[in-house]
Structure 1
């Protein structure tokens, strides 16, 4: 393993711990790091999807008692056809556009949200599946803009974390299949994939222990700072790619 591979593995552990504690957010940071070190979407997304499939599988197991399983059917009802429709366009995606879109989604997720009445559960889960199968196929991470669809007023925090993990696991599995069919294998870089998979499992276990130890206020502040810095890096790289900087 190179120094870069070791660094990526450590980032994978940290981001899985973040998601294990909070339920979402770690994957967005991880895919952002992949793009920030120069990976193309064809390299970054299948590797990321495979790692996040493992990470979300382990988180689903950790919170299995709290998972709302009916959400899976509605998620897949829209997620499968959306993935099949969008998959043929994978090879033509512009990496700099993906960076700008991902940065925009991250910044939008940090904006204050109006306290509107949440969407009914079934349409919300179907919309989550559609977003995973369309936008998610290109940007890789969807937790920050799909996650809010799973914040149900009658659900406990553990139910949100477990159900979101389960649906994200399904979404990443669909992405692995879509990229594989397009000729971009998730196991093209086993020296990164295997250590990352081990790291995210351990990170999830560690994050679940942290769930009740970190104050929500301190966590929110750190999380916002990390995402803002990462967004700025993605925008900078994209603008450099276009020769505007």
Structure 2
């Protein structure tokens, strides 16, 4: 008796899970035809898995499919796990599809075996999300600190300007300090004074004093923190502070 239509298994050509598993299990699986059928299903996850696990796979076609499908997650994963991977084409595609979410672009710079760091940094800077510029400067094996500092400081976010000055191997402290003062953010002016390797305590203290209300808490903390307290004592004694 023939099976009812609603209980029949979907045809192999329309089921990416069946195609992927067949490529793993069937002894005489046609990988060329299987790749074509799998790509036609437009499933980024299965394209990635086949590229990782199949004995044969058209990685170039798979990469183009992932880019066309705008799958940032599986483009990133492919760069880690595929044995054959065109990092230059993949990075161009990843930049193009990252939009306003550069998380996987940042991750690619951290974990891909081959990565164009200059191009990646330029792309992150163009997206103007300071968090990922900061993360890249902290985690990437290669990072242009001059370009990174300029981009991050231009974005004007006092939180990540502070973090970069505190944790990057190199940072433009002069420009960063000016932008921090310009922001008027008393919290991060205070915090920078606790961790930055170069810092103008005299100008920073005057800024905290000028913020009559917003600066109250941070002036109090400065008077209790060792580096600040020593600097303030010198200011009050009329001595010149050498950053």
Structure 1 length as normaliser, TM-score?
0.22
Bigger radius of gyration: 2
Higher relative contact order (CA 8 A, sep 6+): 1
Q: Which structure has greater helix proportion?
A: 1
